[in-house]
Amino acid sequence: MSSLQAVLDQIEKDSQPALDRLFEFLRIESISTDPAYASQCVDAADWLVKDMQSFGVKAQRHDTPGHPMVTGHSGAEGANLLFYGHYDVQPVDPLELWNNPPFEPLVETTASGDVIRARGAADDKGQLMTFIEACRAWHTVHGQLPANITFLFEGEEESGSPSLVPFLKQHADQLQADLALVCDTGMWDANTPAICTMLRGLLGEELTITAADKDLHSGMYGGPAQNPIRVLTTILAGLHDPNSRVTIPGFYDGVHPLPEQIATQWKGLGFKADEFLGGVDLSVLAGEKDYSALEQLWSRPTCEINGIVGGYTGEGFKTVLPSKASAKVSFRLVGDQDPHLIRKNFRDYVQQHLPADCTVDYEDHGASPGTVLPLEDPAFEKSRMALGEEWENDAVYAGCGGSIPIVGYFQEYLGMDSLLVGFGLDDDQIHSPNEKYSLKSFQKGIRSWARVLDSLAT
């Protein structure tokens, strides 16, 4: 029996305990964006430390001004690898749309197979545990890991990662590796694994417009007095032209046309935009005119309003002219778009459209550029083969519409590329109510990492 086969057998044997461990982890309400859940974030970090120690990893919690970082190290001969994941999860509102409590995980049988239902099941607790379980099995069988592996987990991925860059700078020596492994992406489809080689960056902005110094009665002031909601909607509505192109000057600087060979590969994927949209009850592409769905999602930048609030929003009606109105706006970035320049140009645009008597305040919610990974590194092709063996189906190189800022940070601060392998599916509802992770993703994900580690170690 090969050393790999013994590990795969051990994974099978340990299947139920692995699920139990994941459930324990999922029960911790580690919502990072809401300060009310700070102690639960610490609990999640401690849980990881203890779990890694149980199979010989030298793990420890590092407190930060925000939520803790967790590191672990397990020395062995062979490749130097750094594994990254995040233990924090998204908020759960609107809570009333969940069919069962978000932090009480369960396995549910659905038309497309068994799923693990809970906040964080896919993003990212379930995913990161696929790697940990692979390592545990390897350690159980061989008494050590197949490579020299460093673990890094953060608890602020869903809230802009404010502590991450300082931590990377401070611990650059200990975190150095040949390649980072990141498990926070998806499969191409339920049977086709994927390696993500192109990611969009993310720029987050919050703007608050103030007109009068207090809320006013629309009967006593309506007409003469400026309404900040009207100002805000006018500014936001102007961010796109009728073809859904972003109007901010210079926005498309650094956006390159898709290379012919990538465009051809993507066309060959047989992506069905109607099915993709139909899955969420939509039917028409809403992005930039004349681009395919995959291009809109993977290779084109966007501007989205992620939240807006102003005035009276409770039950009934209140004829108020509010003093303030605010919105959260994000930009997905690609190629060589410069996040800092775009933030500046966005603010200039807002300022130029701000009428008399209004002021604007901003909150910076982080910025990371887009990323393209080096397919010429042999680790990519080795991993693609390993994944293909587990899933009995060729793995594809894909783009990713989301942002994994860590990839840019690893490049910038540790000079290291990232191999992005994950087992999420499009319908995992990772930032929505009823988040799930396919049980098959979890189980074959563990086996996939065992195979990838084997391929990279040798």
**In the complex with a second copy, which residue's Cβ is closer, 111 or 356?**
356
Given a contact cutoff of 8 angstroms between Cβ atoms, the answer to whether 167 and 300 are in contact is: no
Size of the site for a second copy (CB under 8 A): 100
Closest listed residue to residue 184, CA positions, set 200, 196, 171, 172: 196
For residues 133 and 437, what is the distance between their CA atoms, to the nearest angstrom? 16
Question: Does the footprint of a second copy cover residue 226 (CB under 8 A)?
Answer: yes
For residues 311 and 314, what is the distance between their CA atoms, to the nearest angstrom? 9
Helix orientation angle between 3-13 and 439-457, rounded to the nearest 10 degrees: 160
Contact pattern from residue 98 through residue 137 relative to a second copy, giving x for each residue in contact according to CB under 8 A and a dash for the rest:
----------------------------------------
42-50, 251-259, 269-277, 367-375 -> range binding a second copy (CB under 8 A) = 269-277
187, 229, 342, 414: residue in contact with a second copy (rule CB under 8 A): 229
198-206, 373-381, 389-397, 448-456 -> range binding a second copy (CB under 8 A) = 198-206
27, 230, 245, 347: residue in contact with a second copy (rule CB under 8 A): 230
68, 72, 155, 204: residue in contact with a second copy (rule CB under 8 A): 204
Question: Does the footprint of a second copy cover residue 273 (CB under 8 A)?
Answer: yes
Closest listed residue to residue 177, CA positions, set 371, 384, 410: 410
Counting every residue written for the chain, the total comes to 458
Contact pattern from residue 321 through residue 360 relative to a second copy, giving x for each residue in contact according to CB under 8 A and a dash for the rest:
xx--x-xx-x-x----------------------xxx---
Bond prior to 94 in cis (omega within 30° of 0): yes
User: Given the DSSP bridges, would you call strands 201-210 and 106-110 parallel, antiparallel or unpaired?
Assistant: unpaired
User: Given the DSSP bridges, would you call strands 418-422 and 179-182 parallel, antiparallel or unpaired?
Assistant: parallel
**In the complex with a second copy, which residue's Cβ is closer, 91 or 250?**
91
Question: Does the footprint of a second copy cover residue 245 (CB under 8 A)?
Answer: no
Question: Does the footprint of a second copy cover residue 281 (CB under 8 A)?
Answer: yes
Order of strands across the sheet with 436-438?
106-110, 113-117, 436-438
Contact pattern from residue 303 through residue 322 relative to a second copy, giving x for each residue in contact according to CB under 8 A and a dash for the rest:
-xxxxxxxxxxxxxxxxxxx
Question: Does the footprint of a second copy cover residue 286 (CB under 8 A)?
Answer: yes
Q: Looking at beta carbons, which pairs linking 251-254 to residues 24 or more positions away fall under 8 Å?
A: 251/301, 251/303, 251/337, 251/342, 251/345, 252/301, 252/337, 253/337, 253/338, 253/341, 254/335, 254/336, 254/337, 254/338
Question: Does the footprint of a second copy cover residue 206 (CB under 8 A)?
Answer: yes
Given a contact cutoff of 8 angstroms between Cβ atoms, the answer to whether 220 and 321 are in contact is: no
**In the complex with a second copy, which residue's Cβ is closer, 298 or 397?**
298
Given a contact cutoff of 8 angstroms between Cβ atoms, the answer to whether 439 and 114 are in contact is: yes
Question: Does the footprint of a second copy cover residue 287 (CB under 8 A)?
Answer: yes
| Closest distance to a second copy from the beta carbon of 416 (Å) | 22
| Closest distance to a second copy from the beta carbon of 326 (Å) | 8
**In the complex with a second copy, which residue's Cβ is closer, 34 or 377?**
34
